Structure formats: structure tokens, C-alpha cells
Structure 1
């Protein structure tokens, strides 16, 4: 177990360094000029040169990448003299648009994105897995067809369309819920949940539909396995066969899918946060794209990659718990 975990951690570090190299190349080496974006439209040649020196863009490419990479682990100092800026650990860059370190911007907005992702994940797992497992156990019945037709219909609805319909139906017409305004969980848990219910539903409808279809096919395949027939032949109760043996083995593909989806959402749901006005990482990312704030775009990209890679590592470790057939060597 320790050897397996060590190998996986080394692999995770290698993947993150490779992602950092690729994203750094895209944002800093290709034709786009971060200094020009930070300086603005009415920028003199002298001012542009000063900003390039402050950002270290006058250094060789390898030196720029090394400064960026080492800054993630140790922090870095940018500029000199009265214009010196210290970017503390972990330094993902400095946003000149917001006059703040990128890491600070991300951490200020992470609770919003984490609240959105976690609440939506609970809903889509609850509804998606319930529908998928029920359809698998009632294969080729009317209930199976109704559930799968509903899942296909829900999966075909874009998030922005679902969000607008929820806002119009539940807020403007019915007046059942307030328009979402983020409230910290520690401040008021009830208002935290009520204000995030609509964004949760908007995300959960799409993901629940995909999880229902995936869990149905996975359960149908698992319930036809020889070990399931053996469990039935031993006279085990149907509930034990389905829950303890069938669902444990059939949920392995769902774990893989869940790790990637949750990791990606933790780094921000751009459309959902923008439509509902939630000050999360996704909305920050959209604003950075609009203004050309490349350090923020790079920081969000690296944060999303980190979440996805770490989530996949956690999923790999959970395989042995969920499915007894999996052994870590």
C-alpha cells in the first residue's frame, strides 16, 4: 500500500509539472503578451518595458518557467526597488487587474465554488444513482423506459437553459425561493442552503441524468456476473445481493466519473456561477478571460488540474474499499 501510494504521488507530481509547463507555454511563450494585457490600451513603450521587467518577461524562457515553478513551492519576489512585490507561498502569479496575488483571489472564492460543487454532487448522486439502479433492477419494464427517457431528456438540456427556467419558474413566477446570494455556511446554514438550492438543482439535473445512464449500464453488467449468481444460489436476501455485492462492484466506473466531475467543479462552474451571480472561481475565471488577466487564467487552470489529479488519486485508493476484487500492489 505504501509503495503504491508513493508511486502514485510521484506520478501526480509529474503530471502537475507537465501541466504547469504546458499552461505556462500557452500563456507566456505563445504570441500573447501578458505585459501588454496588464499595461492596458493606452500604454507607452517605456511603461510596457518597465512592466515586462517587473514580470520577469525580459529573462530567458527557461528562467521565467523556473521562477514560476519555484515560486509555487517557495514564493517569489517580483520587481525591484520601490516597485518590489512579494508573492508568498504558494505563488501562482500576481493579478495586476485586481492588484492582488492570484492565490489570494482563488482562496477568497474557493468556499463559494466548493459549496456549489458539494451540494450539487450530493443531489446528483442521490437522484442519479437511485434512478440508474432502479432502472437496472427493472430492466425492460415501463419504469425502466420512463426513467431512461427522462434521463436522456435531462442530459440534452444545457445548464444555462435549465438555470434560466429555474429562475423564471421558482423565483419570478412561483416566488418559492429567493434569488441566490451567497451566504457563508458558518454564518447561517439555513440561508446558505436556501440560496444555493437553485444552482445545485441546475447542475444536478444534468449530472444526475448522466449518472443514471452510467449506473444503469454498469449495474446490468454487474448483476450478470458469476459471483452474483453464486450469491443468489447461496440463498442470500435480494437486498444483500444488490447492495453488498452488486452495487459495490458496479459503482467502480461511477467513482472514476465522480472524481473527475467533482474535481472540475471545485475549480468553478463558469456558466452556473455567472448566471446566478455567485462570486466563485468560475466567475473569476470568466472575468479574467474577458479582461485578458492571464495570471488568473493560468492560476485557475493549475488549480483545476490539481483538483482533478488529486481526486483521481483518491478514487484509485477507494477502489479497494468499494470493490474487493481490486488489490493495490
Structure 2
């Protein structure tokens, strides 16, 4: 197990290094002028040259990249062009919002999607299964922003007109300030992510379970007289969760880099909203920082997925 995890961690470090090279080349070596962007269009050549010297852009490319790596190793992502704040501080301030949104939504869509998938697999071609198919098609067809706007209209706006303020329309309250208000402000964003994502997980769970139900060991367990509930949850579900875990790692890793649509619909000050603002203002260091943080989360999520593979299927540990 330890050797398996060490190999995965080393491979993840290699991937992060390659991403750092790609990001550096894309933003600092590709044909554009960061110094001109900082100094402004009306700046003189002397001002642009001074900015280039302060940023180290007048040094050889390999020297620039080495300094870039050294700063990354110390957690230094530079300073924002827009407000001169450290990029690390901006990201750290926004990260709890994105973490809260992603983890809460993931728990909700797992409970909903896996639960529906199990029920559909246990009763194939039944009314329940066909109803789940309608749910899946609806979830896959509805874009995230539309689901969010519909929830805002029915559960916030319409209820607010009736004097019911159970669901806030936006904003964020830190967990340390008030856990109850924290959860209340995130209910609608969580529902938005869950309704869109649960459809995929229900289909994955149903298809994988139906395939596992045809395996010899499941038929043997049933022949021994083991209860159906134990066959499903003790024997079949563990093997059937492999594609679900794969999809979960992809989704969570991507969302931790910024749930752009959901955060903007509900006005959540997370990494996604920061990314949009940085692109609009052409704040290059912040964009670079968010890209690197998103890449780290994706790689970390895939390492966790590999670990869960080893837990679910001992054969994976021998690879």
C-alpha cells in the first residue's frame, strides 16, 4: 500500500512540475508584454523598462523560471496588479467559500445520486427506474446557471413575497461566525450543484451495479441465502463504486479550483468569482495563482481517488 501511494504522489509531483512549466511559458514567455500591462498603455518606454527590471523580466528565461519555482516553493504567488495585495492572501481569503460549496455539494449529490442509482439497479425497468431515467435526463439537460436561477426564483423570490425567508438569495457567512447561517446561505448553491451532478452519479451507480449483479460471487451469495440488502450493500456496492469514485475525484478537483457559474449566480466570494474578476481586469498574477491552485487540487483529488481504489479493490495495490 505504501509503495503504491508513494508512486502516485511522485507521479503527482511530476504532473505539477509540468503544469508549472506550461503556465510559465504561457503567461511569461508567450508573445505578450506583462510589463506594459502593469505600466498602462500611456506609460513611457523608461517606465516599462523599470517595471520589467522590478519583475525580473529582463533576465534570461531559465533564470526567470528558477526564480518562479523558488517563489512557488515558498508559497509566494506574487502581487496582484489590480490592488497590489499578495495573491496568496487573496486566494486564502476566498478558499473557505469554495471549499464549503464544493464539499457540501459533493455530499449532497453523492447521497442523492448513489441512492437513486441503487434503487434503480434493484428494480430495473420498474416505474421507479423509469422515473429515475427522467430525473437523469432532466439533470443532464439543465445547465447549472438555469438550475440556480430557478431555485432563486421559486425558493427565494416567491417565498420572500409570501413572507418566508428560509433561503437567502446570496452572500456568504463564515462557519466560525455562525454555523447555522453558514449552512442556510449555502443551501441553494448546494442544491444547484447536487441536482446537476446527481444525475451522472445515479447513472454510473445503476450501470455499475447491474454489471456487478451478474458476477459469479454475487450469484453465489444469493444462492447461500444471504439477504438481498446484504448482497447489495456488503458485496456488490463496494465493487460498483469504482467508476463513482473516479467521477467524484474529477468533479471535486475541478470545483475546488473555482465553481465559477454557481459562485457568480449566488454572489459567493469564492475562487470562481475571483477568477472571473481577474480575467476581466487582466490581473495576470492572480490568474496564474488560481490556475496553479486548481491544478494542485485536481492532482490531489486524483491521488485520493487512487488511494480509494486500493481500499475498494486490493488488486490495485499490486500494480
- TM-score, normalised with respect to structure 2: 0.95
Corresponding residue for 1:46?
46
Once the two structures are superposed, the pairs formed by residues 47-86 of structure 1 within 5 Å of their partners are 47-73=47-73
Q: For structure 1, which segment, 220-229 or 42-51, has the greater mean C-alpha deviation from structure 2 after superposition?
A: 42-51
Aligned residue runs from structure 1 range 108-257, under 5 A: 108-175=93-160, 176-257=166-247
Listed one character per residue, the Cα deviations across residues 176-207 of structure 1 (whole Å, up to 9, x for unaligned) are: 41222211111101000000111111111111
Q: CA separation in 2, counterparts of 1:325 and 1:232?
A: 24
Q: Quote the RMSD (CA, aligned, Å).
A: 1.3
Counterpart in the other structure of 2:83: 98
Map of 1:283 onto structure 2: 273
Q: 1:24-56: per-residue Cα shift (whole Å, max 9, x none)?
A: 111111123222222233322222111111111
2:163 aligned residue: none
Cα distance in 2 for residues equivalent to 1:155 and 1:99: 42
Alpha-carbon separation, structure 2, partners of 1:6 and 1:177: 45
For the Cα contact (< 8 Å) 2:109–2:194, is it kept in 1?
yes
Q: Counterparts of 1:5-20 in structure 2 under 5 Å?
A: 5-20=5-20
Structure 1 residue 303 displacement after superposition: 0.7
CA deviation after TM superposition for structure 1 residue 2, in Å: 2.3
TM-score by length of structure 1 reads 0.92
Structure 2 unaligned residues grouped into runs of 5+? 161-165
How far off is 1:325 after superposition?
4.6
Partner of 2:298: 308
Q: Give distance in 1, aligned partners of 2:315 and 2:235.
A: 11
> Which blocks of at least 5 consecutive residues in structure 1 are unaligned?
74-88
Instruction: Please give the alpha-carbon distance, in whole angstroms, between the structure 2 residues aligned to 1:167 and 1:44.
Output: 49
2 CA distance for matches of 1:239 and 1:32? 62
Segments ≥4 residues shifted beyond 6 Å: none
The 3 A distance-change label for structure 1 pair 39 and 23 is same
Report the more deviating stretch, 92-101 or 9-18.
92-101
The alignment covers a number of residue pairs equal to: 314
